[in-house]
Amino acid sequence: MRILATLLSPDGSKGEVAGYDLLEEPARVRKRMGYVGQAGGADVAATGRENLALKARLYGSDLALARERATRLIGALELGPFADRPAKTYSGGQRRRLDLGLGLAHEPSVVFLDEPTAGLDPQSRARLWEEVRRLRGDGTTVF
């Protein structure tokens, strides 16, 4: 998975993600894919809303679009009641949903999930899989 996410270089084979060559066009691969690692990637001092908007901005969205995407993800992932609190105050399930949102903030066509439900309670696990099914239904490839 790390090779497909361009975090490691392949030893010999060739590969493509979202139609782009891993070795020849890694920047294009990264622009089209989202990666939700097991350890997460949120800035725990920032709010969930700030984390989501920043991720969208880092991928080239203007401020208005970044805020719109953050608001949409907050709704879709049921982060609303705590979206404006620092991420360090989130429960494990809330943080995993925020992590998923971070992987989706730039609307990738391919998403890599590394043990997305590890440590989640049954209710949080069900919510997360519901969102993954919605993504697949919208045409996102999920690994």
Task: Check residue 137 and give its pLDDT.
Answer: 92
Tens digit of each residue's pLDDT (9 = 90 or more) over 20-73: 999 899 999 999 999 888 878 899 999 999 999 999 999 999 999 999 999 999
Residue 34 in any domain: the answer is yes
CATH number of domain containing 95: 3.40.50.300
Residue 11 in any domain: the answer is no
Task: Check residue 6 and give its pLDDT.
Answer: 87
Residue 4 in any domain: the answer is no
Residue 30 in any domain: the answer is yes
Whole-number percent of the chain with pLDDT over 90 = 53
Number of folded domains that form the chain: 1
Most confident by average pLDDT, 34-38, 64-68, 99-103, 108-112: 64-68
- The pTM is what? 0.86
- Tell me how far apart the alpha carbons of residues 21 and 65 are, in angstroms, rounded to a whole number: 28
Question: At residue 8, does pLDDT exceed 80?
Answer: yes
Residue 90 in any domain: the answer is yes
Least Cα distance to 78 among 57, 97, 103 occurs for 97
Kind of pairing, strands 33-36 and 110-113? Answer: parallel
Task: Check residue 41 and give its pLDDT.
Answer: 85
Task: Check residue 118 and give its pLDDT.
Answer: 78
Residue 2 in any domain: the answer is no
- 8 Å CB contact between 22 and 7: no
Q: What is the length of the chain? A: 143
Q: Residue 62 phi/psi, 5° resolution? A: -75, 170
- Structural domain of 86: 16-142
